[in-house]
A and B are shown apart, each in its own frame.
Chain A
Amino acid sequence: MTIFWTLFAKETLRFWKVATQTVAAPVLTSLLYLVIFGYAFNARVQVYDGVPYASFLVPGLVMMSVLQNAFANSSSSLIQSKITGNIVFILLPPISHLEFFAAYVLASVVRGLVVGAGVLIVTVWFVDLPVAAPAWVFGFAILGAALLGSLGLIAGICAEKIDQIAAFQNFLILPLTFLSGVFYSIHSLPEFWQRLSHANPFFYLIDGFRYGFLGRSDFPPLASLAVVAASFFVVSLLTLKLLQSGYKLRY
């Protein structure tokens, strides 16, 4: 276990030492989203009866931060290590692919949850937010962060340059989060886009996470959890295979 703990602690300390950039900055971004969208739409948009738009928006923003930061943690750590060459420090020791995977993904989960908690703490001052079912909140947050941490590992393994990580982020992660119902209920979309949204695993993450707060969702939360868990299972299997084969890490 020492090997796993050391790598996990190192990955966690890595982002904590630059917390202004890795925690405070994303919290501020979410606050800006809340100010702009929350106040601009609060009077005009009501997604669920009796739920103000800002209360609908906050869980989405929190989850979006969790997902984006979990992805950023593993992907940026790995690509930086590859580019600077200090990846040899973890390739030379007897670290198994399972320890490698668990340490990086768990550190990503920690970063995702820390940022998510930060967003929640600064936004609850402005918004009235119920917590209907806290177990769902944690379940979806942890599973979502783990899924994105794992995707971040895949991106970090495959990428050779920082701009390839940025492309992954801008062309895959960002559209998937924005089109997952962070800012709206997918029921307000035309039929075609509704159906397309159901193919987006991030939709189930946001929707199920929101259920934990509001007690209402577009999709049954248990079914959402099953979709998310299945996605995580598939993505982690792929990540473990890549790590085991040494793809783009060992030549």
Chain B
Amino acid sequence: MSLAVEEGEFFGLLGPNGAGKTTLINTVAGLARADAGQVRVMGADVVADYRRARRQLGVVPQELVFDPFFTVRETLRNQSGYFGIRGNDGWIDEVMHHLDLTAKADVNMRALSGGMKRRVLVAQALVHKPPVIVLDEPTAGVDVELRQGLWQFVTRLNRDGHSIVLTTHYLEEAELHCSRIAMLKAGRIVALDSTRNLLARFGGSRTTARVVARDGRQFTLELAGYADLEPQLARLRLEGVEIADLELERPDLEQVFLALTS
């Protein structure tokens, strides 16, 4: 595959299990080695110039891993040191604050809940302020509160100029945050376009309105576009239908996803 993520982008990698999302990320991060081909992070080759490449990259791994010997603060200090950074406490405090970890700073990793461990993983990926942040299914098994907090923080980082690459199973998350999306299937890119174009291309003609009448009858209106809604509703009223409930189904990534990967 050939793929370029631009600086400052919020990029989504989507695909069914086994499509190769994590393998792709691992290759970028240097955890896996490609049999052939080249990967660059901010211009640095991940094999030949791995030290520069890895300094530009912060990866939040999918597995919930931790080092049971250390506290949250120690974990973050160690991680800073591995990137050659000393005296990083100011930034560590800031990251912990944004991820709501301050109260847990001196708690051993072993004693944290799954959601808290996930936050520490995010913090670890950010200790060296990497311009490129890769999140491998960051919200798998995470409660609503953390999910929202996490997205707020990641969105802010993106606004501040960090490039974000996200893999997720939750299509609504990708739809909400990603400006551009690549869909993977069996190690190949089956679609690569802006989120808006993907939705328009594959879901544009499928907007539907579900109407429930006061007498309990249900109608499904196929709309050519939003402009088509009012004339169709007027037609229903002419036939004496009193509308009790109306639900619009916008095209979503799920439909695009199914169309492309089935």
Chain A interface residues toward B at CB < 8 A: 2-3, 5-7, 9-10, 13-14, 17-18, 81, 84-86, 88-96, 246, 250-251
Contact = CB atoms under 8 A, between A and B. Distances in A.
A85 B65 contact: yes
Given A3-B84, A10-B78, A93 B54 contact: yes
Given A85-B65, A88-B61, A96 B51 contact: yes
Nearest to B57: A92
Contacts of B77: 6
Interface in B13-53: 26, 29-33, 50-52
Given A84-B65, A85-B65, A7 B31 contact: no
A250 B65 contact: no
A36 B83 CA distance: 50
A2 B84 contact: yes
Contacts of B81: 2-3, 5-7, 9-10
A95 B66 contact: no
Nearest to B80: A6
Interface of B: 26, 29-33, 50-52, 54-55, 57, 59, 61, 63, 65-70, 77-86, 124, 128
Given A2-B86, A10-B78, A89 B54 contact: no
Nearest to A1: B84
Nearest to B86: A2
Contact of B82 (A6, A13, A251): A6
Query: Is chain A's binding surface mostly helix, strand, loop or mixed?
Result: helix
Contacts of B55: 94
Looking at A86, A93, A95, A251, the one whose CB has the most chain B CB atoms below 10 A away is A93
Nearest to A18: B69
A95 B54 CA distance: 9
A81 B67 CA distance: 8
Contact of A86 (B50, B65, B83, B86): B65
B30 A92 contact: yes
A94 B83 contact: yes
Contacts of B50: 94
B85 A2 contact: yes
Contacts of B26: 251
B61 A250 contact: no
A89 B63 CA distance: 12
A90 to B, nearest CB: 6
A14 B75 CA distance: 12
A250 B46 CA distance: 13
Given A2-B84, A85-B63, A250 B33 contact: yes
Contact of A6 (B65, B78, B128): B78
Contacts of B67: 81, 84, 86, 89
A94 B33 contact: no
B31 A3 contact: no
A89 B124 contact: yes
Contacts of A81: 67
Contacts of B31: 88, 91-92, 250-251
Contacts of B85: 2
* Ranked 6 nearest A-B pairs via Cβ: A6-B81, A93-B82, A94-B51, A85-B65, A94-B54, A86-B65
